[in-house]
């Protein structure tokens, strides 16, 4: 509720908006470069792998048609890409970011390919 | 002709609702009336604002069905809220009567409900 | 400030500065694309025709067959006329391409020609890409020969989503500042306007960006589409989209009546045909792919009916399953092909508000760092100020230059379409150069240029085609009249802005002196 003069008067200072020094984990140019590449490229592959893996699991678990399972997962992939990319800049510990995203990208793709080949062999 | 009236309603009702909501905030009430507000708006006023905004949705669904009506209404919400922002910035005095309707007890000078200097946003 | 908030700050600022130019151009051309068919009518006077009572596909077939003849895998696609595009147009694989500098290079370019709606004859080559250049700039930077333009646009789109989310997360007082716009002071004015447009326009900006990204899902997530199918890499396409195809037989055969097939299709769907594609025309294995007109509902339906052309028999009915139908609905939210003029106008205005969002973001960055950079001797503000002017007024000048060139270039010129596009890019580069070379007066001079160019475009339209505003309004040609009127409105806004900017500059000079 807006009550009283205090809460209703907009801040005269722009303290929440004016230039601030970058947080500690975004000071070093090399760290920034690694985070940028991880956010732009690594998160993309991580979201793609997650979508592939999710589609394979969804199709085999529920029996819905493969193209439908793929579509549902691809729609979600745009949002997982966004979340992971933003997380790459928020998380303080750089090794955690790099390992989680790049390893996740490789692992999800590999697991998806492996599961499909299993299903292909048994079909 | 009838369609123009319905369209007008779809645009005007959310605009009115957002005007009411804005005038519930002290800085905008001051901008409209050049006085300091003394009383808080009654909670029924907020209900009224919500009804006005929902009224726009009702008219929109009546005109175009649920899907198109919802899409139209969501875009109208942004447009009317921006229109209220610009009204308050350029011609806040146009909303003076509505402001007094929203908070009907202005208070006397002794209570501190006197006039304030024009540039109240500083 | 917490580290999280500081991270959001850093991200929002740097991504905004890096990609603001591209994002402004995408929002600008996207807003114009709402009316790209109307811009087509303006730029191609020979297509300012009336919608006929009925059209005959069989009458169009000879012209279309002739256009598609001689390529590797001949096929043509006809868009049947609608209210805002009253002439049918043919898309075909072109052997030459007048929109590039090398018209005789091997063709894998899709070109577009228009047909007379009554007789089906080919209309003369308009020698311009028209509004389609702006439309394709919006999603693929109009790169015709090498389809790489899609990817910077997609990156910018994803960055826009990050900008929106970070903007919300770093905003301190969303409710208190909901309707706030303190326009008296420069720094606060730009920040307040940026916040107002960003918060109030949040549903639109987020959804238009997300739906635009989802639209090209098959380009952006190829691995996710192919891995679940294992060995069968083309499986997704086959199951969901292009369910029917067959190769050429090499034996000529007479086609049956396309109009009868269209009538059968309309009977099955309950609505008329919108587009017709014919593969291997004139061949025994020729087949037609028909899709319904999509101006009735939100969804951008691509349900297809496949017909055997020599016999007219129905071969296959492709209907989208639920998840794909959802994606088609999401695409339809972005394309707004449906007939609803208030929503189209609101999308246009909200798209322009996206441009305002980006411009005010730049302006706030500049105002909040101007004094510090001047005191410390840093060049950042000077560089970004030039970047801002070139990105905003610059791309508008480029667009107006494109329209003016369309009216001025002679129709007999060999690579006319390429020359027009050259004027667009030349105007844009010139605007950037001007902004960096004359920082103090760049805004004012470019605003004046916009006003002059916009009025010139209207005058040239009247002079070269005879369709001045009174005549187009009298005959109900709202496409051409609308473009002329918007040009005049834009000129007015630019002129008023120029006056305001010149007052401020005089005041600034007086302050220093």
- The tens digit of pLDDT for each residue in C451-500 reads 999 999 999 999 999 888 899 999 988 999 999 999 999 999 999 988 88
**3-state DSSP of C386-399:** HHHHHHCHHHHHHH
Arithmetic mean of pLDDT, C308-312: 91
| Bridge partners, C23 (sequence order) | none
Asked if C316 and C307 count as a contact pair (C-beta separation under 8 A), the reply is no
What confidence tier does C216 reach under pLDDT thresholds 50, 70, 90? very high
At B24 the three-state DSSP class reads coil
Contacts of C197 in chain B (CB under 8 A): 82
Nearest-angstrom CA–CA distance, C451 and C493: 8
Arithmetic mean of pLDDT, C403-428: 92
pLDDT at residue B9, as a whole number: 95
Pick the residue of C175, C179, C350 with the most B CBs within 10 A to test the interface with B by mutation: C179
Contacts for C261-270 with beta carbons within 8 Å, 24 or more apart?
C261/C288, C261/C290, C261/C307, C261/C312, C262/C57, C262/C290, C264/C305, C264/C307, C264/C312, C264/C314, C265/C290, C265/C292, C265/C305, C265/C307, C266/C292, C268/C305, C268/C317, C269/C303, C269/C305
pLDDT at residue A44, as a whole number: 97
Q: Please give, rounded to a whole number of angstroms, the shortest distance from the CA of A14 to a CA of chain B.
A: 12
Query: Do C298 and B67 lie within an 8 Å CB cutoff?
Result: yes
Asked if the model's pLDDT at residue A8 lies above 50, the reply is no
**C173 contact B CB<8A:** no
- Structural domain span for residue C345: 3-41+149-214+338-512
Domain annotation covers residue A18: no
Asked if A66 and C239 count as a contact pair (C-beta separation under 8 A), the reply is yes
pLDDT digits (tens, 9 = 90+) for C101-114: 555 555 567 888 89
pLDDT at residue C195, as a whole number: 94
Nearest-angstrom CA–CA distance, C402 and C406: 6
pLDDT at residue A3, as a whole number: 37
Domain annotation covers residue C368: yes
- Structural domain span for residue A48: 26-122
DSSP-derived pairing of the beta strands C75-79 and C89-94: antiparallel
Range picked from A72-81, C62-71, C372-381 for highest mean pLDDT: A72-81
Q: What is the separation of C-alpha A87 from the centre of its chain, rounded to a whole number of angstroms? A: 7
Domain annotation covers residue C476: yes
pLDDT at residue B3, as a whole number: 92
- Looking at A8-12, C46-50, C331-335, C430-434, which range is the least confident one? A8-12
**C347 contact B CB<8A:** yes
| C345 and C386 co-located in one domain | yes
Nearest-angstrom CA–CA distance, C12 and C1: 15
Nearest-angstrom CA–CA distance, C31 and C28: 5
Query: Do B25 and A5 lie within an 8 Å CB cutoff?
Result: no
| C238 and C363 co-located in one domain | no
pLDDT at residue C508, as a whole number: 66
Asked if B101 and B34 count as a contact pair (C-beta separation under 8 A), the reply is no
Domain annotation covers residue A115: yes
How many beta-carbon pairs under 8 angstroms link A with B?
23
Asked if the model's pLDDT at residue B23 lies above 90, the reply is yes
Domain count, chain A: 1
Domain annotation covers residue C140: no
| C107 and C244 co-located in one domain | no
Please state, rounded to an integer, the average pLDDT across all residues of chain C. Answer: 89
Domain annotation covers residue A87: yes
Contacts of A9 in chain B (CB under 8 A): 26-27
Asked if the model's pLDDT at residue C374 lies above 90, the reply is no
Q: Please give, rounded to a whole number of angstroms, the shortest distance from the CA of A1 to a CA of chain B.
A: 9
Arithmetic mean of pLDDT, A77-104: 96
pLDDT at residue C413, as a whole number: 84
Q: What percent of chain B has pLDDT over 70?
A: 85
**C209 contact A CB<8A:** no
- Looking at A27-41, A44-58, C132-146, which range is the least confident one? C132-146
Domain annotation covers residue C377: yes
pLDDT digits (tens, 9 = 90+) for C271-304: 899 999 999 988 899 999 999 988 888 998 888 9
Closest-CA residue to B27 (of A4, C194, C195): A4
Tokens (6 digits) for C494: 């630019």
- Domain termination residue (choose one: C335, C362, C389): C335
Q: Write the CB contacts of C41 (distance below 8 Å, at least 6 apart in sequence).
A: C47, C48, C477, C479, C480, C483
Nearest-angstrom CA–CA distance, C317 and A2: 59
Domain count, chain C: 3
| C382 and C271 co-located in one domain | no
Asked if the model's pLDDT at residue C26 lies above 90, the reply is yes
Arithmetic mean of pLDDT, C375-383: 89
Burial of C510 (0-12, 13-18, 19+ CB in 10 A): exposed
At C92 the three-state DSSP class reads strand
pLDDT digits (tens, 9 = 90+) for C143-154: 877 778 999 999
Cα–Cα distances in Å, from C78 out to B66, C52, C57? 33, 16, 9
Asked if the model's pLDDT at residue C139 lies above 60, the reply is yes
Contacts of C162 in chain A (CB under 8 A): 82, 85-86
Asked if the model's pLDDT at residue A2 lies above 50, the reply is no
What confidence tier does C97 reach under pLDDT thresholds 50, 70, 90? low
| C305 and C391 co-located in one domain | no
Arithmetic mean of pLDDT, C335-339: 90
Domain annotation covers residue C142: no
- Looking at A81-85, C238-242, C261-265, C427-431, which range is the least confident one? C238-242
| C114 and C234 co-located in one domain | no
Q: What percent of chain C has pLDDT over 90?
A: 58
Asked if the model's pLDDT at residue B117 lies above 60, the reply is no
Pick the residue of B27, B30, B38, B45 with the most A CBs within 10 A to test the interface with A by mutation: B27
Arithmetic mean of pLDDT, C368-378: 87
Domain annotation covers residue C453: yes
pLDDT at residue A1, as a whole number: 37
Asked if the model's pLDDT at residue B107 lies above 60, the reply is no
Number of residues in chain C: 513
pLDDT digits (tens, 9 = 90+) for C152-170: 999 999 999 999 999 999 8
What confidence tier does C230 reach under pLDDT thresholds 50, 70, 90? confident
What confidence tier does B51 reach under pLDDT thresholds 50, 70, 90? very high
| C350 and C488 co-located in one domain | yes
Domain annotation covers residue A13: no
Neighbours of chain A (3+ CB pairs under 8 A): B, C
Tokens (6 digits) for B50: 């919500």
Residue A9: closest C-alpha in chain B: B27
- Domain termination residue (choose one: C335, C361, C392): C335
| C37 and C175 co-located in one domain | yes
Of B29, B36, B121, the CB nearest to A10: B121
What confidence tier does C344 reach under pLDDT thresholds 50, 70, 90? very high
pLDDT at residue B122, as a whole number: 42
Q: Please give, rounded to a whole number of angstroms, the shortest distance from the CA of B8 to a CA of chain A.
A: 30
- Looking at C15-29, C199-213, C460-474, which range is the least confident one? C460-474
pLDDT at residue C120, as a whole number: 86
Query: Do C180 and B85 lie within an 8 Å CB cutoff?
Result: yes
What confidence tier does B85 reach under pLDDT thresholds 50, 70, 90? very high
| C448 and C397 co-located in one domain | yes
* Cβ within 8 Å of B, C 279-338: 297-298, 333, 338
């Amino acid at each position: 509720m807006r009550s009283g003069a205090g809460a209703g008067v907009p801040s005269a200072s722009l303290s929440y908006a004016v230039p601030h020094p970058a947080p500690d984990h975004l000071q070093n140019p090399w760290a920034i470069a690694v985070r940028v590449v991880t956010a732009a490229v690594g998160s993309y592959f991580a979201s793609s792998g997650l979508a592939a893996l999710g589609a394979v699991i969804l199709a085999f678990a529920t029996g819905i048609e493969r193209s439908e399972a793929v579509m549902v997962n691809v729609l979600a992939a745009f949002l997982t890409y966004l979340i992971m990319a933003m997380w790459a800049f928020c998380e303080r510990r750089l090794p955690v970011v790099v390992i989680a995203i790049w390893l996740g990208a490789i692992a999800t793709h590999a697991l998806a390919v492996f599961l499909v080949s299993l299903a292909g062999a048994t079909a | 002709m009838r369609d123009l009236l319905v369209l007008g309603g779809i645009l005007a009702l959310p605009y009115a609702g957002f005007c009411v909501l804005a005038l519930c905030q002290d800085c905008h009430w001051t901008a409209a009336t050049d006085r300091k507000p003394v009383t808080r708006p009654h909670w029924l006023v907020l209900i009224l604002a919500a009804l006005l905004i929902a009224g726009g949705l009702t008219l929109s669904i009546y005109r175009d069905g649920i899907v198109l009506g919802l899409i139209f209404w969501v875009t109208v919400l942004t447009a009317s809220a921006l229109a209220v922002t610009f009204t308050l910035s350029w011609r806040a005095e146009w909303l003076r009567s509505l402001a007094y309707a929203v908070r009907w007890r202005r208070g006397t000078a002794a209570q501190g409900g006197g006039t304030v200097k024009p540039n109240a946003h500083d | 400030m917490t580290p999280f908030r500081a991270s959001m700050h850093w991200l929002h600022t740097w991504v905004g500065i890096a990609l603001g130019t591209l994002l402004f151009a995408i929002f600008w051309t996207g807003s114009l694309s709402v009316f790209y068919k109307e811009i087509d009518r303006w730029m191609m006077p020979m297509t300012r025709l009336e919608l006929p009572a009925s059209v005959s596909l069989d009458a169009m077939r000879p012209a279309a067959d002739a256009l598609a003849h001689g390529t590797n895998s001949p096929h043509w696609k006809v868009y049947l006329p609608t209210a805002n595009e009253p002439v049918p147009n043919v898309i075909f694989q072109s052997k030459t391409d007048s929109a590039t500098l090398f018209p005789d290079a091997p063709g894998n370019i899709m070109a577009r020609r228009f047909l007379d709606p009554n007789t089906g004859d080919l209309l003369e080559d308009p020698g311009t890409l028209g509004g389609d250049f702006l439309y394709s700039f919006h999603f693929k930077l109009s790169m015709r020969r090498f389809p790489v333009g899609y990817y910077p646009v997609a990156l910018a789109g994803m960055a826009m989503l990050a900008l929106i989310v970070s903007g919300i997360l770093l905003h301190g007082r969303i409710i208190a500042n909901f309707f706030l716009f303190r326009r008296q002071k420069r720094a606060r004015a730009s920040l307040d306007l940026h916040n107002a447009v960003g918060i109030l326009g949040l549903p639109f900006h987020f959804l238009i960006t997300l739906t635009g990204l989802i639209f090209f899902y098959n380009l952006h997530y190829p691995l996710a589409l192919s891995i679940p199918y294992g060995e069968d890499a083309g499986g997704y396409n086959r199951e969901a989209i292009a369910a029917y195809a067959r190769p050429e037989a090499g034996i000529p055969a007479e086609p049956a009546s396309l109009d009868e097939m269209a009538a059968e299709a309309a009977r099955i769907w309950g609505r008329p045909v919108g587009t017709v594609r014919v593969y291997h025309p004139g061949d025994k294995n020729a087949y037609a792919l028909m899709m319904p007109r999509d101006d009735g509902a939100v969804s951008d339906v691509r349900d297809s009916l496949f017909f055997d052309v020599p016999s007219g028999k129905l071969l296959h009915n492709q209907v989208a399953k639920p998840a794909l139908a959802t994606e088609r609905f999401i695409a339809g939210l972005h394309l707004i092909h449906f007939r609803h003029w208030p929503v189209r106008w609101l999308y246009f205005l909200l798209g322009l508000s996206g441009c305002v969002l980006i411009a005010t973001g730049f302006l706030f960055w500049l105002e909040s760092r101007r004094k510090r950079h001047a005191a410390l001797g840093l060049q950042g503000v000077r560089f970004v100020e030039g970047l801002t002017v070139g990105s905003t007024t610059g791309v508008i000048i480029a667009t107006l230059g494109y329209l003016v060139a369309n009216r001025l270039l002679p129709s007999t010129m060999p690579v006319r379409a390429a020359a027009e596009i050259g004027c667009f890019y030349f105007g844009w580069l010139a605007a950037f150069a001007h902004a960096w070379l004359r920082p103090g007066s760049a805004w004012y001079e470019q605003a004046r240029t916009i006003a002059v160019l916009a009025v010139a475009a209207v005058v040239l339209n009247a002079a070269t085609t005879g369709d001045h505003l009174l005549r187009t309004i009298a005959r109900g040609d709202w496409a051409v009249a609308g473009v002329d009127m918007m040009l005049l409105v834009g000129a007015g806004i630019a002129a008023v802005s120029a006056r305001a900017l010149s007052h401020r500059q005089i005041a600034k000079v007086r302050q220093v002196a």
